[in-house]
Structure 1
Amino acid sequence: MSTPRMNADERRNQLLDILCDIVLSEGFAAVSIDRIARDANIARTVIYSHFGNLDGMLDALVERTADRALAQVRSVVPDFPISEDPGDVLADAIGTFTSVVRSDPVTWRIVLLPSDGAPAQLRERLGSARNAIETLLSPLVEWGIEALGVRDLELDVELVSHAIVLLGEDGARLTLTDPDRYPPERLKAFARSLIMVATKPAAGA
Protein backbone atom coordinates (compact mmCIF):
# COMPACT_ATOMS: atom_id res chain seq x y z
CA MET A 1 0.00 0.00 0.00
CA SER A 2 1.42 3.38 -0.98
CA THR A 3 1.49 6.34 1.39
CA PRO A 4 0.19 9.82 0.51
CA ARG A 5 2.75 12.24 -0.88
CA MET A 6 3.79 14.90 1.62
CA ASN A 7 6.06 17.90 1.56
CA ALA A 8 9.14 17.86 3.79
CA ASP A 9 7.52 19.58 6.78
CA GLU A 10 4.44 17.37 6.65
CA ARG A 11 6.56 14.24 6.49
CA ARG A 12 8.78 15.34 9.38
CA ASN A 13 5.77 16.09 11.55
CA GLN A 14 4.12 12.81 10.59
CA LEU A 15 7.22 10.88 11.63
CA LEU A 16 7.55 12.83 14.86
CA ASP A 17 3.88 12.17 15.63
CA ILE A 18 4.51 8.45 15.16
CA LEU A 19 7.54 8.70 17.43
CA CYS A 20 5.34 10.43 20.04
CA ASP A 21 2.75 7.67 19.86
CA ILE A 22 5.38 5.00 20.45
CA VAL A 23 6.99 6.90 23.33
CA LEU A 24 3.70 7.59 25.08
CA SER A 25 2.34 4.07 24.69
CA GLU A 26 5.49 1.98 25.13
CA GLY A 27 8.33 4.23 26.27
CA PHE A 28 11.57 5.35 24.68
CA ALA A 29 13.02 1.84 24.84
CA ALA A 30 10.55 0.73 22.15
CA VAL A 31 11.77 3.33 19.66
CA SER A 32 13.80 2.27 16.62
CA ILE A 33 14.18 3.36 13.02
CA ASP A 34 12.71 0.04 11.88
CA ARG A 35 9.65 0.48 14.10
CA ILE A 36 8.98 4.03 12.96
CA ALA A 37 9.43 3.12 9.30
CA ARG A 38 7.07 0.19 9.67
CA ASP A 39 4.40 2.25 11.42
CA ALA A 40 4.71 4.98 8.78
CA ASN A 41 4.73 2.46 5.94
CA ILE A 42 7.84 4.01 4.43
CA ALA A 43 11.44 3.00 3.74
CA ARG A 44 14.07 3.56 6.41
CA THR A 45 15.93 5.83 4.01
CA VAL A 46 13.14 8.39 4.24
CA ILE A 47 13.75 8.76 7.97
CA TYR A 48 17.51 9.03 7.45
CA SER A 49 16.99 11.72 4.83
CA HIS A 50 14.99 13.85 7.26
CA PHE A 51 16.81 13.27 10.55
CA GLY A 52 20.15 11.61 9.82
CA ASN A 53 19.74 8.92 12.48
CA LEU A 54 17.66 8.03 15.52
CA ASP A 55 19.47 10.53 17.75
CA GLY A 56 18.70 13.26 15.23
CA MET A 57 15.06 12.29 15.30
CA LEU A 58 14.97 12.34 19.10
CA ASP A 59 16.62 15.77 19.05
CA ALA A 60 13.93 17.00 16.64
CA LEU A 61 11.19 15.65 18.91
CA VAL A 62 12.73 17.33 21.94
CA GLU A 63 12.98 20.68 20.14
CA ARG A 64 9.45 20.50 18.77
CA THR A 65 8.02 19.57 22.16
CA ALA A 66 9.88 22.29 24.05
CA ASP A 67 9.03 24.93 21.43
CA ARG A 68 5.34 24.04 21.52
CA ALA A 69 5.24 24.05 25.30
CA LEU A 70 6.96 27.42 25.56
CA ALA A 71 4.73 28.96 22.90
CA GLN A 72 1.63 27.76 24.72
CA VAL A 73 2.84 29.21 28.01
CA ARG A 74 3.54 32.53 26.28
CA SER A 75 -0.04 32.53 25.01
CA VAL A 76 -1.46 32.60 28.56
CA VAL A 77 0.79 35.35 29.94
CA PRO A 78 -1.04 38.69 29.55
CA ASP A 79 0.53 41.66 27.84
CA PHE A 80 1.24 44.87 29.71
CA PRO A 81 -0.33 47.20 30.66
CA ILE A 82 -2.75 45.18 32.80
CA SER A 83 -5.80 46.78 34.37
CA GLU A 84 -7.40 43.72 35.98
CA ASP A 85 -7.08 42.63 39.61
CA PRO A 86 -3.66 40.96 40.00
CA GLY A 87 -5.07 38.02 41.92
CA ASP A 88 -7.56 37.36 39.15
CA VAL A 89 -4.84 37.69 36.50
CA LEU A 90 -2.54 35.16 38.17
CA ALA A 91 -5.37 32.73 38.90
CA ASP A 92 -6.70 33.07 35.36
CA ALA A 93 -3.24 32.27 34.03
CA ILE A 94 -3.19 29.00 35.99
CA GLY A 95 -6.69 28.08 34.81
CA THR A 96 -5.97 28.95 31.20
CA PHE A 97 -2.68 27.08 31.29
CA THR A 98 -4.33 23.85 32.47
CA SER A 99 -6.96 24.24 29.72
CA VAL A 100 -4.14 24.56 27.19
CA VAL A 101 -2.51 21.42 28.60
CA ARG A 102 -5.74 19.48 28.18
CA SER A 103 -6.01 20.66 24.57
CA ASP A 104 -2.55 19.27 23.69
CA PRO A 105 -2.01 16.23 25.93
CA VAL A 106 0.63 14.68 23.65
CA THR A 107 3.04 17.58 24.09
CA TRP A 108 2.45 17.94 27.80
CA ARG A 109 2.63 14.24 28.61
CA ILE A 110 6.12 14.21 27.15
CA VAL A 111 7.01 17.36 29.10
CA LEU A 112 5.46 16.47 32.45
CA LEU A 113 5.18 12.69 32.45
CA PRO A 114 8.34 11.47 30.70
CA SER A 115 8.55 7.72 30.38
CA ASP A 116 11.44 5.54 31.47
CA GLY A 117 14.50 5.81 29.27
CA ALA A 118 13.92 9.46 28.35
CA PRO A 119 17.06 10.78 26.63
CA ALA A 120 19.32 13.22 28.45
CA GLN A 121 18.67 15.89 25.82
CA LEU A 122 14.97 15.86 26.76
CA ARG A 123 15.72 16.58 30.41
CA GLU A 124 18.25 19.27 29.49
CA ARG A 125 16.01 21.00 26.94
CA LEU A 126 13.00 20.94 29.25
CA GLY A 127 15.13 22.38 32.03
CA SER A 128 16.09 25.24 29.73
CA ALA A 129 12.44 25.75 28.76
CA ARG A 130 11.46 25.87 32.45
CA ASN A 131 14.07 28.57 33.07
CA ALA A 132 12.72 30.51 30.11
CA ILE A 133 9.18 30.25 31.49
CA GLU A 134 10.31 31.55 34.88
CA THR A 135 12.02 34.48 33.17
CA LEU A 136 8.83 35.13 31.19
CA LEU A 137 6.77 35.16 34.39
CA SER A 138 9.08 37.39 36.42
CA PRO A 139 7.73 40.74 35.10
CA LEU A 140 4.17 39.55 35.77
CA VAL A 141 5.07 38.45 39.30
CA GLU A 142 6.86 41.74 39.99
CA TRP A 143 3.83 43.65 38.74
CA GLY A 144 1.53 41.47 40.88
CA ILE A 145 3.55 42.12 44.04
CA GLU A 146 3.42 45.85 43.35
CA ALA A 147 -0.29 45.88 42.47
CA LEU A 148 -1.27 43.79 45.50
CA GLY A 149 0.61 46.11 47.80
CA VAL A 150 2.69 43.37 49.41
CA ARG A 151 6.15 44.80 48.82
CA ASP A 152 6.68 44.94 52.57
CA LEU A 153 6.65 41.14 52.63
CA GLU A 154 9.96 41.26 50.73
CA LEU A 155 8.84 38.52 48.38
CA ASP A 156 11.61 37.12 46.20
CA VAL A 157 10.40 37.56 42.60
CA GLU A 158 12.61 34.75 41.29
CA LEU A 159 11.42 32.27 43.93
CA VAL A 160 7.78 33.28 43.52
CA SER A 161 8.09 32.74 39.76
CA HIS A 162 9.65 29.34 40.42
CA ALA A 163 6.82 28.43 42.82
CA ILE A 164 4.18 29.44 40.26
CA VAL A 165 5.83 27.26 37.61
CA LEU A 166 5.87 24.31 40.03
CA LEU A 167 2.21 24.92 40.92
CA GLY A 168 1.29 25.09 37.25
CA GLU A 169 3.22 21.91 36.43
CA ASP A 170 1.66 19.99 39.30
CA GLY A 171 -1.82 21.16 38.35
CA ALA A 172 -1.15 20.16 34.75
CA ARG A 173 -0.07 16.67 35.81
CA LEU A 174 -3.24 16.30 37.85
CA THR A 175 -5.50 17.40 34.99
CA LEU A 176 -3.68 15.07 32.57
CA THR A 177 -3.89 11.99 34.77
CA ASP A 178 -7.35 12.62 36.30
CA PRO A 179 -9.15 15.25 34.20
CA ASP A 180 -12.59 14.72 35.72
CA ARG A 181 -11.35 15.23 39.26
CA TYR A 182 -9.06 18.15 38.46
CA PRO A 183 -10.70 20.41 35.86
CA PRO A 184 -9.16 23.82 35.09
CA GLU A 185 -11.91 25.56 37.07
CA ARG A 186 -10.95 23.74 40.26
CA LEU A 187 -7.25 24.50 39.81
CA LYS A 188 -8.01 28.16 39.06
CA ALA A 189 -10.10 28.45 42.23
CA PHE A 190 -7.32 26.86 44.27
CA ALA A 191 -4.75 29.27 42.86
CA ARG A 192 -7.03 32.21 43.71
CA SER A 193 -7.41 30.93 47.28
CA LEU A 194 -3.64 30.67 47.68
CA ILE A 195 -3.22 34.26 46.49
CA MET A 196 -5.87 35.47 48.93
CA VAL A 197 -4.21 33.66 51.82
CA ALA A 198 -0.77 34.97 50.85
CA THR A 199 -1.92 38.59 50.70
CA LYS A 200 -4.33 38.65 53.66
CA PRO A 201 -1.72 39.44 56.35
CA ALA A 202 -0.49 42.46 54.40
CA ALA A 203 -4.03 43.67 53.75
CA GLY A 204 -4.83 43.59 57.45
CA ALA A 205 -1.61 45.17 58.57
Structure 2
Amino acid sequence: MGDDAGVTVEKKSPGVWQVGVDPVAARPRRRNAPRLPPDERRTQLLDAALRVVEGDGLAQLTMQAVAREAGVAKPVLYALYPTAPELVAALLHREHARGMAQMLRAMPEDLRGTDPDEEFVTAALAFLQAVAAVPGRWRLILMHADGAPADYRSLLAVAREDLTARYLELLRTGFAIRGGPEGADLELIGTAMVGFMEVLGRMVLTDPQRFPPERLESTVRSLLRTLPPARERG
Protein backbone atom coordinates (compact mmCIF):
# COMPACT_ATOMS: atom_id res chain seq x y z
CA MET A 1 0.00 0.00 0.00
CA GLY A 2 3.06 2.30 0.08
CA ASP A 3 2.36 3.52 -3.46
CA ASP A 4 -1.14 4.63 -2.42
CA ALA A 5 0.09 7.23 0.11
CA GLY A 6 -1.75 10.49 -0.49
CA VAL A 7 -4.49 8.90 -2.64
CA THR A 8 -8.09 9.81 -1.73
CA VAL A 9 -11.31 8.08 -2.74
CA GLU A 10 -14.54 10.05 -2.43
CA LYS A 11 -18.08 8.80 -3.10
CA LYS A 12 -19.77 11.39 -5.33
CA SER A 13 -23.10 9.56 -5.94
CA PRO A 14 -24.43 6.00 -5.80
CA GLY A 15 -22.03 3.90 -7.77
CA VAL A 16 -19.77 6.87 -8.64
CA TRP A 17 -16.45 7.30 -6.89
CA GLN A 18 -13.77 9.97 -7.44
CA VAL A 19 -10.11 9.10 -7.03
CA GLY A 20 -7.79 11.98 -6.23
CA VAL A 21 -4.56 12.99 -4.50
CA ASP A 22 -4.39 14.65 -1.10
CA PRO A 23 -1.95 17.55 -1.74
CA VAL A 24 -0.79 17.65 1.90
CA ALA A 25 -0.20 13.92 2.24
CA ALA A 26 1.45 13.72 -1.17
CA ARG A 27 3.90 16.52 -0.44
CA PRO A 28 7.49 15.16 -0.15
CA ARG A 29 8.54 14.96 3.46
CA ARG A 30 11.49 17.03 4.54
CA ARG A 31 14.45 14.84 5.19
CA ASN A 32 15.73 15.16 8.72
CA ALA A 33 19.34 16.10 9.34
CA PRO A 34 21.45 12.99 9.95
CA ARG A 35 21.86 12.06 13.58
CA LEU A 36 25.15 13.17 15.06
CA PRO A 37 26.73 12.66 18.48
CA PRO A 38 26.11 15.73 20.70
CA ASP A 39 29.70 16.99 20.49
CA GLU A 40 29.69 16.83 16.69
CA ARG A 41 26.29 18.48 16.56
CA ARG A 42 27.49 21.31 18.81
CA THR A 43 30.47 21.85 16.53
CA GLN A 44 28.19 21.89 13.49
CA LEU A 45 25.82 24.39 15.06
CA LEU A 46 28.52 26.71 16.38
CA ASP A 47 30.31 26.62 13.02
CA ALA A 48 27.02 27.65 11.41
CA ALA A 49 26.59 30.42 13.99
CA LEU A 50 30.07 31.71 13.21
CA ARG A 51 29.22 31.85 9.50
CA VAL A 52 26.09 33.85 10.32
CA VAL A 53 28.19 36.29 12.36
CA GLU A 54 30.72 36.60 9.53
CA GLY A 55 27.97 37.59 7.14
CA ASP A 56 25.58 39.61 9.29
CA GLY A 57 27.24 40.44 12.62
CA LEU A 58 26.52 39.24 16.14
CA ALA A 59 23.39 41.38 16.45
CA GLN A 60 21.73 39.37 13.67
CA LEU A 61 22.51 35.97 15.19
CA THR A 62 19.05 34.38 15.51
CA MET A 63 18.04 30.79 16.15
CA GLN A 64 16.26 30.68 12.80
CA ALA A 65 19.30 31.97 10.93
CA VAL A 66 21.60 29.40 12.58
CA ALA A 67 19.22 26.49 11.97
CA ARG A 68 18.90 27.51 8.32
CA GLU A 69 22.67 27.87 7.92
CA ALA A 70 23.28 24.47 9.56
CA GLY A 71 20.57 22.81 7.47
CA VAL A 72 18.69 21.45 10.49
CA ALA A 73 15.21 21.85 11.92
CA LYS A 74 14.94 24.31 14.79
CA PRO A 75 14.12 21.58 17.35
CA VAL A 76 17.57 20.10 16.67
CA LEU A 77 19.13 23.43 17.60
CA TYR A 78 16.88 23.98 20.63
CA ALA A 79 17.75 20.52 21.96
CA LEU A 80 21.34 21.67 22.58
CA TYR A 81 20.89 25.43 22.94
CA PRO A 82 17.44 26.12 24.38
CA THR A 83 17.78 29.92 24.13
CA ALA A 84 19.56 32.41 21.89
CA PRO A 85 21.66 33.81 24.79
CA GLU A 86 22.97 30.30 25.51
CA LEU A 87 23.93 29.88 21.85
CA VAL A 88 25.63 33.28 21.78
CA ALA A 89 27.54 32.53 24.99
CA ALA A 90 28.72 29.16 23.68
CA LEU A 91 29.92 30.73 20.42
CA LEU A 92 31.69 33.64 22.13
CA HIS A 93 33.51 31.45 24.62
CA ARG A 94 34.58 28.92 21.99
CA GLU A 95 35.93 31.55 19.64
CA HIS A 96 37.61 33.43 22.48
CA ALA A 97 39.42 30.26 23.58
CA ARG A 98 40.51 29.49 20.04
CA GLY A 99 41.64 33.05 19.41
CA MET A 100 43.71 33.19 22.58
CA ALA A 101 45.33 29.87 21.66
CA GLN A 102 46.29 31.35 18.28
CA MET A 103 47.78 34.41 19.97
CA LEU A 104 49.84 32.34 22.38
CA ARG A 105 51.11 30.11 19.56
CA ALA A 106 52.22 33.20 17.64
CA MET A 107 54.25 34.54 20.57
CA PRO A 108 57.75 33.10 20.96
CA GLU A 109 58.42 31.09 24.11
CA ASP A 110 62.09 31.94 24.48
CA LEU A 111 64.04 34.76 22.83
CA ARG A 112 67.50 33.52 23.82
CA GLY A 113 69.64 32.82 20.78
CA THR A 114 67.26 34.70 18.46
CA ASP A 115 66.87 38.10 16.85
CA PRO A 116 64.10 39.67 18.97
CA ASP A 117 63.10 42.06 16.17
CA GLU A 118 62.57 39.22 13.69
CA GLU A 119 60.68 37.24 16.30
CA PHE A 120 58.35 40.20 16.79
CA VAL A 121 57.74 40.57 13.06
CA THR A 122 57.10 36.84 12.69
CA ALA A 123 54.65 36.84 15.59
CA ALA A 124 52.87 39.94 14.29
CA LEU A 125 52.41 38.43 10.82
CA ALA A 126 51.20 35.15 12.31
CA PHE A 127 48.58 37.08 14.27
CA LEU A 128 47.44 39.10 11.24
CA GLN A 129 47.25 35.98 9.09
CA ALA A 130 45.10 34.31 11.77
CA VAL A 131 42.78 37.33 11.67
CA ALA A 132 42.52 37.13 7.88
CA ALA A 133 41.92 33.36 7.94
CA VAL A 134 39.00 33.43 10.43
CA PRO A 135 37.60 36.97 10.32
CA GLY A 136 34.37 36.03 12.12
CA ARG A 137 36.31 34.87 15.17
CA TRP A 138 38.46 37.96 15.35
CA ARG A 139 35.55 40.30 14.77
CA LEU A 140 34.12 38.90 18.00
CA ILE A 141 37.42 39.54 19.79
CA LEU A 142 38.60 42.83 18.28
CA MET A 143 35.25 44.44 17.36
CA HIS A 144 32.89 43.01 19.95
CA ALA A 145 30.61 45.95 20.73
CA ASP A 146 27.72 44.81 18.51
CA GLY A 147 25.64 42.86 20.99
CA ALA A 148 28.25 41.05 23.09
CA PRO A 149 27.14 40.57 26.72
CA ALA A 150 28.95 42.35 29.53
CA ASP A 151 30.47 39.18 30.99
CA TYR A 152 32.12 38.44 27.64
CA ARG A 153 33.59 41.93 27.46
CA SER A 154 34.98 41.38 30.95
CA LEU A 155 36.49 38.08 29.81
CA LEU A 156 38.18 39.84 26.90
CA ALA A 157 39.55 42.53 29.20
CA VAL A 158 41.11 39.95 31.51
CA ALA A 159 42.58 38.03 28.56
CA ARG A 160 44.04 41.22 27.13
CA GLU A 161 45.71 41.98 30.46
CA ASP A 162 47.19 38.48 30.55
CA LEU A 163 48.49 38.73 26.98
CA THR A 164 49.94 42.17 27.65
CA ALA A 165 51.74 40.84 30.72
CA ARG A 166 53.15 37.98 28.64
CA TYR A 167 54.28 40.42 25.98
CA LEU A 168 55.95 42.69 28.55
CA GLU A 169 57.89 39.71 29.85
CA LEU A 170 59.14 38.99 26.32
CA LEU A 171 59.86 42.68 25.74
CA ARG A 172 62.10 42.85 28.81
CA THR A 173 64.02 39.81 27.58
CA GLY A 174 64.26 41.28 24.08
CA PHE A 175 65.61 44.60 25.36
CA ALA A 176 68.17 42.75 27.44
CA ILE A 177 69.38 40.98 24.27
CA ARG A 178 69.21 43.79 21.71
CA GLY A 179 69.35 46.88 23.89
CA GLY A 180 66.94 49.77 23.55
CA PRO A 181 66.39 53.46 24.17
CA GLU A 182 67.89 54.70 27.43
CA GLY A 183 65.33 55.16 30.18
CA ALA A 184 62.65 53.43 28.12
CA ASP A 185 59.39 52.77 29.95
CA LEU A 186 58.80 49.16 28.96
CA GLU A 187 55.28 49.05 30.34
CA LEU A 188 54.21 51.99 28.18
CA ILE A 189 56.05 50.64 25.13
CA GLY A 190 54.54 47.16 25.53
CA THR A 191 51.01 48.44 26.04
CA ALA A 192 51.33 50.72 23.01
CA MET A 193 52.64 47.88 20.85
CA VAL A 194 49.75 45.60 21.84
CA GLY A 195 47.33 48.39 20.95
CA PHE A 196 49.17 48.91 17.66
CA MET A 197 48.70 45.25 16.73
CA GLU A 198 45.01 45.44 17.59
CA VAL A 199 44.63 48.41 15.24
CA LEU A 200 46.35 46.49 12.43
CA GLY A 201 44.06 43.52 13.10
CA ARG A 202 40.99 45.76 12.74
CA MET A 203 42.36 47.10 9.47
CA VAL A 204 42.59 43.53 8.14
CA LEU A 205 38.99 42.92 9.24
CA THR A 206 37.44 46.08 7.88
CA ASP A 207 39.22 46.16 4.50
CA PRO A 208 41.02 42.86 3.81
CA GLN A 209 41.60 43.63 0.14
CA ARG A 210 43.28 46.92 0.90
CA PHE A 211 45.15 45.79 4.01
CA PRO A 212 46.30 42.17 3.65
CA PRO A 213 48.79 40.98 6.31
CA GLU A 214 51.68 41.04 3.83
CA ARG A 215 51.20 44.74 3.15
CA LEU A 216 51.36 45.52 6.87
CA GLU A 217 54.75 43.86 7.41
CA SER A 218 56.63 47.06 6.52
CA THR A 219 54.47 48.97 9.02
CA VAL A 220 55.41 46.50 11.76
CA ARG A 221 59.09 46.90 10.91
CA SER A 222 58.75 50.68 10.94
CA LEU A 223 57.49 50.48 14.52
CA LEU A 224 60.64 48.63 15.53
CA ARG A 225 62.78 51.39 14.00
CA THR A 226 61.40 53.74 16.64
CA LEU A 227 63.14 51.52 19.23
CA PRO A 228 66.78 51.57 18.10
CA PRO A 229 68.96 48.85 19.63
CA ALA A 230 71.94 49.85 21.76
CA ARG A 231 74.45 49.43 18.95
CA GLU A 232 72.76 52.20 16.93
CA ARG A 233 72.94 54.81 19.66
CA GLY A 234 75.64 57.41 19.44
Which category of TM-score, normalised to the shorter sequence, fits these structures?
A: 0.7 to 0.9
Q: Following TM superposition, by how much is the alpha carbon of 1:43 offset from its aligned partner in structure 2, in angstroms?
A: 4.5
- Write the distance in 1 (CA, Å) between the matches of 2:215 and 2:58: 33
Counterpart of 1:160 in structure 2 is 189
In structure 2, the residue matched to 1:97 is 127
Name the counterpart of 2:63: 33
CA contact (8 A) 1:18 1:40 kept: yes
Report how far residue 35 of structure 1 moved. Answer: 4.0
Q: SS of 2:110's equivalent? A: coil
The one of 6, 9, 13 equivalent to 2:43 is 13
- Summarize the Cα distance change of 1:201–1:76 in structure 2 as closer, same or farther, 3 Å threshold: same
**Greater strand share, structure number:** 2
For 1:96 and 1:36, the matched residues in 2 are separated by: 30
Cα distance in 1, alignment partners of residues 57 and 208 from structure 2: 22
| Alpha carbons 2:111, 2:173 under 8 Å: kept | no
Deviations 1:12-42 (A, max 9, x none): 1221122223333333343333443344344
Q: Is the 8 A contact 1:86 1:148 kept in 2?
A: yes
Q: Highest relative contact order (Cα 8 Å, sep 6+), 1 or 2?
A: 1
Structure 1 window deviating more from structure 2 (104-113 vs 17-26): it is 17-26
Moved over 6 A (4+): none
Cα deviation for residue 169 of structure 1 reads 1.2
- CA spacing shift, 1:179–1:50, aligned 2, 3 Å: same
Give the corresponding residue for 1:110. Answer: 140
1: CA distance between counterparts of 2:185 and 2:227?
11
Q: Distance in 2 between matches of 1:5 and 1:103?
A: 30
Q: When the two structures are superposed, what TM-score results if normalisation uses the length of structure 2?
A: 0.75
1:24 and 1:110 in contact (8 A); partners too = no
- What is the CA–CA distance in structure 1 between the aligned matches of 2:52 and 2:145, rounded to whole Å? 11
Q: 1:29 and 1:191 mapped to 2: Cα distance?
A: 33
Shift in alpha-carbon separation, 1:35–1:91, aligned structure 2, 3 A: closer
Cα 1:154–1:197 shift into 2, 3 Å? closer
- Work out whether residues 153 and 202 of structure 1, in 8 Å CA contact, stay in contact via their aligned partners in 2: no
TM-score normalised over the length of structure 1: 0.85
Moved more, 179-188 or 94-103: 179-188
1:171, 1:187 within 8 Å by CA — same for their partners in 2? Answer: yes
CA–CA separation in structure 2 for the residues paired with 1:92 and 1:153: 27
Give aligned pairs, total: 204
Normalized per residue, the structure richer in helix is 1
Distance 1:44 1:178, change over 3 A: closer
1:196 corresponds to 2:225: yes
Q: Distance between the aligned counterparts of 1:18 and 1:115, measured in 2?
A: 21
1:199–1:116 CA distance, 2 compared to 1 (3 A): same
Larger Rg: 2
- In the other structure, the counterpart of 2:161 is 131
| CA drift at 1:201 | 8.2
Residue 126 of structure 2 aligns to which amino acid in structure 1? T
Cα 1:149/1:84, change in 2 over 3 Å:
same
Query: Letter of the aligned partner of 2:199 in structure 1?
Result: D
Gaps of 5+ in 1: none
* Aligned counterparts of 1:39 and 1:104: Cα–Cα separation in 2: 17
Q: What corresponds to 1:178 in structure 2?
A: 207
Secondary structure of residue in 2 paired with 1:198: coil
**TM-superposed deviation, 1:115:** 6.0
Supply the AA of the counterpart residue of 2:103.
V
The alpha-carbon distance between structure 1 residues 35 and 186, as it changes in their structure 2 partners (threshold 3 A), is: closer
